[in-house]
Amino acid sequence: MVEIGSSVLVFCLLLATTSVGLWVRPLLHEAHRAHETVQLIQLVIGMLVTFAALVLGLMTASAKASFDTTSNDMRAYAADLIELDTTLREYGQETAPARLLLRQYTAAAIASTWTGERAPAGDYYPKDVGSQDNSQSLENVRLGDMLTAVGRNLRQLRARDPLQQRALDDSLTQYRRIVDARWKLIEEAHSSISQLFFTTLTFWLCVIFLSFGLIAPRNALTIVTICLGAVSIASAVYVIVDLDTPFTGPIVVSSQPMRDALTHLNR
């Protein structure tokens, strides 16, 4: 998992740079350990800590905002599916095949997106949709084809009266909105954190912990405190990366809106 790998990497780098500082400190000349030198190092550390804290806070806020946006878009997507099914019911029995395809698509989307959760009951959707390589990007080609088949079925309908024509026009508009929302969710499933930005932040943190090793006394309390600090930083990185990938990891967008939509479609 990306979030675990990123946090473990940051943790190991912070401990490694601290160890380098602790190893180098006894080798330094006495002039390098003078009070003025230590004060300068502390001043630089304070500056870098301020920058790193500001960046970590901004990254956390950005990742949380992105996660909340995806969660809201998923609820809106589920509502659009319900709205389309309601319009198709109003049209008449001719839309039964399209409604069946819509139910199959919704169930398959749940099964392939939330692979760690219980799959919807029933055998009316392809159970292997989550086995494709691109299933982690929320959807895959087979699911896209299923949704395309819904639109194709709608375009084949021929209204018999103005009321049906109005329902057909509304359903086509709603279908187009669902397709647009699907692609928006697919794009939102990808990480938005800049790797260069993340690397720069990691470099700042490594410099800070290297400085800790250069000025900190070598005793058990110092080592424990530095380790706890490294764990705290690594856990913050874990939360940021996990929030930035809303469909993978322990923190994921809830599947309940889609499950509620499927329950409505099954009525």
pLDDT in tens, 11-69: 999 999 999 988 887 777 776 667 777 788 888 888 889 988 998 998 999 999 999 99
Residue span of the structural domain in which 58 resides: 2-65+191-244
Per-residue pLDDT tens over the stretch 71-121? 999 999 999 999 999 999 999 999 999 999 999 999 988 988 888 888 888
The mean pLDDT value for 194-206 works out to 88
The reply to whether 99 and 141 lie within a common domain is: yes
Distance of alpha carbon 43 from alpha carbon 46, whole angstroms? 5
251 in a structural domain: no
The reply to whether 37 and 85 lie within a common domain is: no
**Per the structure, how many domains does the chain have?**
2
CA distances from 236 to 109, 163, 191 (A): 31, 56, 16
Highest mean pLDDT among 136-140, 211-215, 233-237: 233-237
164 in a structural domain: yes
Tell me the pTM.
0.82
How many CA atoms are closer than 13 Å to the CA of 47, on its beta-carbon side?
A: 7
